[in-house]
A and B are shown apart, each in its own frame.
Chain A
Amino acid sequence: GAGVSQSPSNKVTEKGKDVELRCDPISGHTALYWYRQSLGQGLEFLIYFQGNSAPDKSGLPSDRFSAERTGGSVSTLTIQRTQQEDSAVYLCASSPTSGVPPYFGPGTRLTVL
């Protein structure tokens, strides 16, 4: 399919471990977003990439969180030294430009034990 894909779909890890979440945006989309949804919470903005511009990292909750986007395409969200409060569904989205509603992927459900 031509939609946004994310992997893995589910990830269970132990507290203190590092995890990497992958997002494959729709081909040609220059804008890429990461959000997360914690239990009982709305979606929370994390980080935004637009083309070759510096990413907007203002939503990252701590310095344990980082993200990169290689070659303007695939993005990886890394969480170091995971904590139980990091358990959530992490959603990636992409759009042709920042002025167009984004297409969301199905998400990665992260569980930190």
Chain B
Amino acid sequence: GDSVTQMEGPVTLSEEAFLTINCTYTATGYPSLFWYVQYPGEGLQLLLKATKADDKGSNKGFEATYRKETTSFHLEKGSVQVSDSAVYFCAYTNTGFQKLVFGTGTRLLVSP
């Protein structure tokens, strides 16, 4: 069935390190892809999105490119900060936002 697989955490990095969090999906058709972030004590927030193949979503220094040939949407950031410490969720939908399919989340811990 449809699913999202993302790398298990926690991912532990030092400040200014390069970040990659892998995400692959199994879905029919042409889904829209998303990364959500959950900071400690807060609700999920949409971080970035891409709605068609080869689109690149970007926000707050984070980027992800919709790769249909590899069914991937890996999240990257060139230089992480302590304030980026959070749980990151990859998600997609074929049917609108009412039925987002989420991955299990990847916890990122950034130390000074």
A: residues with CB less than 8 A from B are: 3-4, 31, 33, 35, 40-45, 48, 50, 56, 59, 91, 93, 95, 98-107
What residue of chain A has the Cβ atom nearest to residue B44's Cβ? A104
What residue of chain B has the Cβ atom nearest to residue A101's Cβ? B46
Q: Per-residue 0/1 for B95-109: is the Cβ within 8 Å of any A Cβ (1 yes, 0 no)? A: 011111111110000
A42, B98: Cβ atoms closer than 8 Å: no
Instruction: Give 11 A-B pairs besides A42-B103, A93-B43 with Cβ atoms closer than 8 angstroms.
Output: A31-B98, A33-B98, A35-B100, A42-B101, A45-B98, A48-B98, A56-B98, A91-B43, A101-B97, A104-B45, A106-B41
How many A-B residue contacts, CB cutoff 8 Å? Answer: 60
Q: Per-residue 0/1 for B41-58: is the Cβ within 8 Å of any A Cβ (1 yes, 0 no)? A: 111111001000000000
What residue of chain A has the Cβ atom nearest to residue B6's Cβ? A42
A107, B43: Cβ atoms closer than 8 Å: yes
Chain B contact residues, majority secondary structure? mixed
Whether A43 touches B89, Cβ cut-off 8 Å, given contacts A91-B43, A105-B43, is yes
* 15 residue pairs from A and B, CB less than 8 Å apart: A3-B43, A35-B100, A42-B4, A42-B102, A42-B103, A43-B44, A43-B91, A43-B102, A44-B102, A45-B98, A45-B101, A59-B99, A99-B97, A101-B46, A104-B44
